[in-house]
Amino acid sequence: MLTPAEQYDRLPPETQRLLDEINFLAAELRDHLLLEQFYLALNALNARLQQLHPEIACVQGCSTCCQTQGNQWQLLPMEWSLIQRALQALPQAQQLRVQSQLQQLADPASGSSCPLLLDGRCAVYAFRPLDCRLKGYSFSQERLLPMQPALPQAFSCLAEQQRILHDLKRPGRALFYMFFPQREALQQVLQRIEPSDDQSQTLAHWLEQHFEALHSAA
């Protein structure tokens, strides 16, 4: 079996260049001290991972995770601050729709769709939090895939996890996934941007506080 270095040497120059850029950007993420810079670097990394893996479905307009896990996201205050500004800039009609969808979360029968998902798209996509940006483009240490050697679980929906697991079984494909960042490592970097900013809350909690404050001020 070829080692990763030997596999790399056999790749076309264009693919080698792309992998080099991905590796460089992954390292660069450790050095960004502003949330906006961190997000920009992550966007650049994801764009190159998308080039490397064009079959990845986690792009704007794919809302599977938003529909099934949208009320579970944990946001740090600095992440919520960006989302709140974007929310306040939305037309009033859209803000009312977000509020209505938030209220529906109180009913378990209504499902767990993210209140910010409007017509199948994120209303604040450019300001979405870290976990949303990592979906489909990272691995998580929460659970290991049953492979030899064991590999972290793809941080994505079940369908994408199964697709990646199948792809990893193909000869030489593991090399391409070695460049996926670790979700937990990037969360640690995010925490270092504002060390005192550690009181994470669910998106639903932040939205409830936001709309309650608006109601009190009216």
pTM: 0.81
pLDDT at 38 over 80: yes
What pLDDT is recorded for position 184?
87
Sequential DSSP letters for 200-214: -EEHHHHHHHHHHHH
Give the count of beta carbons closer than 10 Å to the beta carbon of residue 177. 17
Residue 63 CA neighbour count, 13 Å, CB half: 17
pLDDT at 176 over 70: yes
Lowest mean pLDDT of 19-23, 52-56, 97-101, 151-155, name the range: 151-155
Give residue 109's pLDDT band: very low, low, confident or very high (50, 70, 90): low
Three-state SS at 68: helix
Q: Which residue has the higher pLDDT, 17 or 1?
A: 17
Average pLDDT over every residue of 136-155:
70
What pLDDT is recorded for position 66?
87
Residues near 185 by beta carbon (within 8 Å), at least 6 away in sequence = none
Query: How do the domains of the chain map onto residue ranges?
Result: 4-217
pLDDT, tens digit, for every residue of 59-99?
777 888 888 776 777 899 999 999 999 999 999 999 999 99
